[in-house]
Amino acid sequence: MGGSRKDWVDAMDVNVICKDTKLPSNRYEVVFRTAQDGILILEHPSGKIIDANDYFVNLTGYSRTDILHKELWELGFLGDRDRSIRAFKELLTKNYIRYDNISLRHITGRLVPVEFVSNIYPIDNSLQIQCNVRDISDRVLAQEGLFQAQVQLVEMLFGAITCIGQLVEARDPYTSGHQTRVAKLAVAIADHLKLSSDEIICLRVAALTHDLGKTMISSRLLNKRLPLSPSDWRKIKSHPRIGAALLKPLSGRFEISRVVGEHHEREDGSGYPCGLTAVSISLLSKILAVADVVDAMTNARPYRPAFGLEVALDEITKQAGILFSKDVVKVCTQILRNKNFTLQAGVNQ
């Protein structure tokens, strides 16, 4: 049936229609019985079922005798009795309710996803309730298929991102596995801070590509064993800006480019490339900064040996609130002192 009061009145007022148009007097009955949506007619205000069409009977597996003269919430097909009563009270108050995706329980126990719409209409100086129930199984299956396709697309994206990371690290053997380890730690911190799934995806991609800008820097310079000159440092310090520029087309609704560009910024403004202070640095960038420093300190570089985990944790703790976010440092320290977390493993998220 239609979704407006006029539709219902037109359909029910068959005597007037038949006089004017000479249509058969059983027009309402034919439409009601053959509709390809389930339709229930309820008594107002009791909620007792006074009619149910064939489609609804087939949808639930109950016989018409089982259904008629029962209150809507007496029957098990709506599942939660208390929720059904609350919904009915809402209907009596608002004259209209809609649920886009609820489960209707077939008499066999099988759950059928349905769209459930109820309206209250005035008919012959009284009120009556019409419930339309539409089987949306095909729609739900299509949505599940779309979700699976999206999952596969994300997996392909991360495969491509991992390849990019490997390209970066191939030019600098001292940083082999660095971006993967940083991503694992950064995601663990973000998860502990209860960031959204979108934020975690953004952070993971940024962590896996945060040194992409180094592909534009000479491998001779990246692997230089002697102390770096001021000119060398200026070139090295350009990699966040270069990486951000390279990743800008990939960012979309995420801030991947921004996070990569800020991962060497520091709370007190002493970082690079822009000298941003705490209020201007995104939380994701602050997380990446801590994860990056911890992994860098616990692994050797051409110009120095590895410092070890405890030295790295002591350093970030000393610099909490100065160079690094206090909250991020606190969480990072808790995670790395937890024996269930191993920094050397790959990304498991």
By annotation, the residues acting in catalysis are 214
Strand partners, 51: 41
φ/ψ of 347, rounded to 5, equals -75, 125
Q: How far is CA 105 from CA 62, 109, 239, in A?
A: 10, 6, 58
Strand partners, 40: 52, 131
Q: Look-up: residue for tokens 């269930």? A: 340
How many helices and strands in the chain, by DSSP H and E? 16, 5
Strand partners, 113: 103
CA–CA gap between residue 71 and residue 69 (Å, rounded): 7
Closest CA to 47 of 127, 103, 113, 157: 127
